[in-house]
Every structure is written in C-alpha cells, then in structure tokens.
Amino acid sequence: MTAYPDSIRTTGNPDRQALIERHLAALYEVSTVLSRSLDLQQTLSEVLSVLHRSGRLTHGIVSLTDAETGELLITALQNGDPAPFAAVRYQPGEGLIGRILEQNQTLMVERLADDTRFSDKLGIYDTELPLIGVPIRIGDEGAVGVFAAQPPADAALLEDRARFLEMVANLIGQAVRLSRAVEDERRSLREERDKLRREVRGDHGFDSIIGHTRSMRLVFDQVRQVAKWNTTVLIRGDSGTGKELIANAIHYNSPRARNSFVKLNCAALPDNLLESELFGHEKGAFTGAQTQRKGRFEQADGGTLFLDEIGEISGAFQAKLLRVLQEGEFERVGGTRTLKVDVRIIAATNRDLEGEVKAGDFREDLYYRLNVMPIQMPSLVDRIEDVPDLARFLAGKIAKLQGRELTVTDSAVRVLMRHRWPGNVRELENCIERAAVMSEDGVIDRDVIHLAGLNVSVADDEPAAPTTPGAPPPTKVDLDDPDLDERERVIAALEEAGWVQAKAARLLNMTPRQIAYRIQTLKIQVRQF
C-alpha cells in the first residue's frame, strides 16, 4: 500500500481520477512545506493544513513517540495548537491510535462511531466520518509515530485515500528523521560547548593561580570582588608575574564568562595596524583591505577585551582609545558609521604609568580611565614561599604535555628557593620545563635543576628571605623522616652541613668514608665553594 496500482491509473472512474490529481497536487505541496523549515512542529502543522485544503482530510493529527517512555505524544494538530493536549498520552495498543503504533500497520474505519476501540481522548473527531491512521516509520525501524485523519464518507475511495496517507507518512518520516538527526547534533554540540566551558573555567579559574602568601591572598580577594562587576581593571606588575592569568580569572568568573574574551598585545603592533586590529576596517580603507573586517572591540561585544602592555601605545593612539573607553563608540578605519559596543576592559602594564603621566608621555585622562580598579601583582622574589607549590604545579602542567609523570624532589625545591627569579614565574616555568627535558626518569632533583642551567651563587646559599610579614622561615628537613629516600637524606644532610662531608657524616651517624661512598654510588653532584 505504498503506490497506486495500474488498475486505478487506467480506470475510467472520474471520481478516482479527480482524487489522484488532487493527491498528486497535495503531495507536491507537502514536499515543498517539508523542505522549507527545520521547525518540525510548525512544519507538520502546515502539512496538515495543506492536506485539509487540497486533500479534503479533516481533523489531522501527527503523534510521535517519546524517546524515554515510548508513549505517543501529540506533536501537531490541523488548525490547532497541540499545547492544550500536552497531557494526552497513548500507550502502545491503547485505542485506535495506540493500536496502529503497536501493530505498525495502516488502520481504516468506515464509520468511527461503530468502532468500540475508539477512546476519543482528544474530543475533536466527527464520529459519523471514517478514520484512517497510518504508522510513521524511519527506515527499517518500527513505527515512531502515527498520522491520522478523517476523509469524506465515501467507502469506495477509502483504500485510495489510505494509500495517499501512507505516502504522506513516508515523507513525514523523513522529516522526523532529519529533525532528530539535527537535534542530536545540536545536543552533542551543546554538550561539547558546556564541557569546553567547564574546562576553560577550570583552566582559568582560581585553582590555576598558585599562591598562599599575604600579597597573593590580597590579589585573590580583589579578583573575586571585581569579577562581579563591569569595572575597568588595570593589572600592574613585572613581566612574568601572571597578569594574563589574573585577566583570565576575572573574565571567566564574571557574568560575561559566556561571551568572548579577546586579547591583544598593544606592544606587538605599530599605530596604523593597532587601529585596524582594535577598530576594524572597511573594504578598500587601505592597500590590501579587500574585505570588511571586524576589530577586537566588535569581537568582544558583550564580553571582555584584554589590552596587554597598554603602556606601550603612542600618544596619538591614546586619544583614539580614550574615546571608545569613555563613550563605547568608534568608527572602523575608512568608515563613517559610528558603532557602539558593550565591552569590559582589562588592561595590563609593567610600566610606571604615574611617572609617564608626569613626564607627559601618557595621557592623564586615559590613566584615570584605566586605573579604576588597580591590581598589583607581586614579584616572585616577594613571595618566595610559593615556589614549592608553583614548581609542583608547573611540573604537573608540563607532565600533561609530555604525557608522563614528573616529580619534583625536596632537594630541587630547596635549590629553587635560593634563586632570586628576576624573570618571575615565567622564568621558573622555563626552568622546570628544561629540567623535565633533562630528566630521563621523570624525577626532577637538585642535580637536574643544575643541569637545566640554574646556578645558585654563593650569595644565594640560603633561601631568599620571605618578605611577607609574619611568614614562617623555611623549615629544616627531618633526616629521620621514613618517607625520605636515601639520596634525599644524604643531600639534605650535606646542605644542612654546608656541604662539609665530615659534618654531614656526623649528622647521619656515618663515617666520612661511608658518606663519601654514598655520594659516589648515589651520583650526587658535590657543590664547590
């Protein structure tokens, strides 16, 4: 029952010929409607309207199965909103509609009032008319829904109309298959998006910023407070102190986290390119501008724009930047139309802006526009107590990239704490990465740190004094700690003894000969003073 037999096409019955012509015209309209939109409910409602108008089918409904319960739900009604019938459910085998789903076969009733299986849950049918219901299938699957409608009371043409409904049901099945495939893809994309958002929030949250000193706790408190608002932030500090990490944390913990976070290093571009990068340009604005291009301000609309090295921009460009910070308005390069954006600004610099304002090299009005909420990043030497946690965090980060386990020993940490770190955390990260490359077994100890090129001078023999008021001094290593391996224990004793082997031997209850043998067999590089 999927096509008209030859006997119907060649018959001289004028009623059947007229019916076939109407059905062909209706099929064309139905296929046009189904190809018009991916909104399944709206599309099916239009299909039912076409069938009523061109096919003389009344009270049409399309019901589809719920993926979780297997029940039939009303998806579309002819000239009606299915919302009032949202609570109507058909179990497989229940009433005429449920029977069609269960048996996966077409059902024809010449007069609805005569069929005792009719449950009339919807209350819309004319019981004096026939009812035709056909299953909606997707490929070789069982029925995924039911398409039902009432034709005119003409028993002679009932089978012809049933064949027509089967054809329409096949088209509806393809539309349902496409709609479900699109919805599955959308669901997959949403899940992937949410997963990426969680990962980004985790990578750029507070857990990715290491620090327990008072100066870093102050930074964390400031970030938590300012992230809630749209206040402009100016992050101050030396290169390598983690200013970009703080900018990330502010954005991804703010109400703007779902929107774009756009970054630009202002020191990397000359003025003419910087203007095009920030404000965009129109087609033909300059040589090589073959298309219109949105600038960073437009890209960050609704989100956050991070302007790194803001102190490097020229005086001429400072005036252009001031206007967009004050008014949120600008024109693309080569354009005349004023564009308005909603962008939160986070700027960063390692320059002495106050001194440059006094010297006339930085506009005072721009300085005050940027310096609404200043956050000062401490240098690593000012929070040397954070070095152990930083070293192990960075080692874990590098371990993921290298696909192996990395361990930082206590002896390596003690060496790291004796360095002054003029390059701050960036220098520490480079040192750990070099040490990871030099370590064959994944253990970063004191010798590997020295192989990585970190040479602690005699002046650095003691750990750098903590500058945070009230911070505890570095503690001695417990030589009797059972978790300390032999190599670590010997190195700790040597360091405590100032690398005097006889003194270290006494600390370990050894003879000088025994400790010399241990140094040789454990391959400990002896420091020379």
Beta bridge partners of 109: 131
Q: How confident is the model at residue 237 (pLDDT cuts 50, 70, 90)?
A: very high
Q: What percent of the chain has pLDDT over 70?
A: 89
Residue whose structure tokens are 């579309």: 76
pLDDT, position 42: 85
Task: Provide φ and ψ at 6, rounded to 5°.
Answer: -60, -30
The answer to whether the CB of 38 falls within 8 A of the CB of 179 is yes
Q: Say whether pLDDT at 39 is over 80.
A: yes
Which tens digit of pLDDT belongs to each residue from 358-379?
Answer: 999 999 999 999 999 999 999 9
Q: Taking residues 143-169, report their average pLDDT.
A: 89
Instruction: Calculate mean pLDDT across residues 248-269.
Output: 90
Ordered alpha helix ranges (H), 439-524: 446-451, 486-496, 501-507, 512-521
Q: Which helix (H) or strand (E) holds 137?
A: strand 131-137
* Residue spans per domain, the chain: 6-182, 206-378, 381-521
Tens digit of each residue's pLDDT (9 = 90 or more) over 464-488? 444 444 444 444 667 777 767 788 7
Q: Is the pLDDT of residue 10 over 80?
A: no
Confirm if 77 and 85 have CB atoms less than 8 A apart. Answer: yes
pLDDT at site 509: 87
DSSP H or E run through 329: strand 329-331
Q: Does domain 6-182 have CATH number 3.30.450.40?
A: yes
Q: Which of 193-207, 262-276, 368-382 has the largest mean confidence?
A: 368-382
pTM given for the model: 0.61
Domains 206-378 and 381-521 share a fold: no
pLDDT of residue 6: 47
Look at residue 471 in the predicted model and tell me its pLDDT. 43
More confidently predicted of 38 and 422: 422
The pLDDT tens digits of the residues spanning 293-309 come to 888 999 999 999 999 99
The listed CATH number (3.50.50.100, 1.10.8.60, 3.40.50.920, 3.20.20.140) that belongs to domain 381-521: 1.10.8.60
Structure tokens at 244: 């970009």
3-state SS record for 139-155: CCCCEEEEEEEECCCCH
Mean pLDDT, the chain, as a whole number? 84
Q: CA 480 to CA 44: how far, in whole Å?
A: 79
Topology (CATH) of 206-378: Rossmann fold (3.40.50)
Answer whether residue 519 shows pLDDT above 50. Answer: yes
Q: Which residues sit opposite 264 in a β-bridge?
A: 307
Q: What is the pLDDT of residues 97-109, one digit of tens each?
A: 889 988 999 999 9
Nearest-angstrom CA–CA distance, 419 and 386: 13
Phi first, then psi: give them for residue 322, nearest 5 degrees: -60, -40
